[in-house]
Amino acid sequence: MFKDKTIVYTSGTFDMFHYNHLRMINYARSLADILIVGVSTDELVMSYKDKPIIPFTERLQIIEALKTPDIVIPQHTLDHTEIVKKLNIDAFVVGDDWYGKYDYLKELGVEVFYFPYGNGVSSTKIKKSIHDSYENLLQTQRERKPVEVKK
């Protein structure tokens, strides 16, 4: 708490920004007097999964364009100990796909909220859908292509 203000931090990759991202950020906003949103750098993301489709600078600009965050910062690590201490974070909000991963922040006096994404949309599902559609299109084109060309 800073001057009786609740400071909430939420973070994510925010690749292929979608409605569940917006829901989580809006939920974090509802808990906050000051909302700080961290956007994971490409280097950080590539340390645990494939490189994002949308480059870091563009993802950062998308989040900055929202009306809900007060501050948008790069996120360079999955360990939030330093940021909690430096920015006096009172609460942390993250998607429930990270359930349990940030419980260590409770020892620092931070309330941790795992936002339920549910079975809705996710960047991973969007990427898979695009990939599968493309594969189906290629397969259809292969099947329509004549086996040999008559001269």
Confirm whether 76 is domain-assigned. yes
Residue with tokens 């940021």: 83
* Residue span of the structural domain in which 64 resides: 7-121
Q: How far apart are CA 94 and CA 102, in angstroms?
A: 9
In the chain, how many H helices and how many E strands? 5, 5
- In a structure prediction context, what are the per-residue pLDDT tens digits for the chain, which is 151 residues long? 678 999 999 999 999 888 889 999 999 999 999 999 999 999 999 999 889 999 999 999 999 999 999 999 999 999 999 999 999 999 999 998 899 999 999 999 999 999 997 666 666 666 666 766 767 776 777 777 766 666 6
Confirm whether 89 is domain-assigned. yes
Q: How far apart are CA 105 and CA 24, in angstroms?
A: 19
The pLDDT of residue 1 is 66
The pLDDT of residue 39 is 98
Confirm whether 26 is domain-assigned. yes
Confirm whether 115 is domain-assigned. yes
Confirm whether 46 is domain-assigned. yes
Confirm whether 140 is domain-assigned. no
What CATH number should be reported for the domain holding residue 37? 3.40.50.620
Task: Name the domain count of the chain.
Answer: 1
Q: pTM score, two decimals?
A: 0.82
Confirm whether 83 is domain-assigned. yes
The pLDDT of residue 127 is 66
The pLDDT of residue 129 is 63
The pLDDT of residue 135 is 73
Confirm whether 65 is domain-assigned. yes
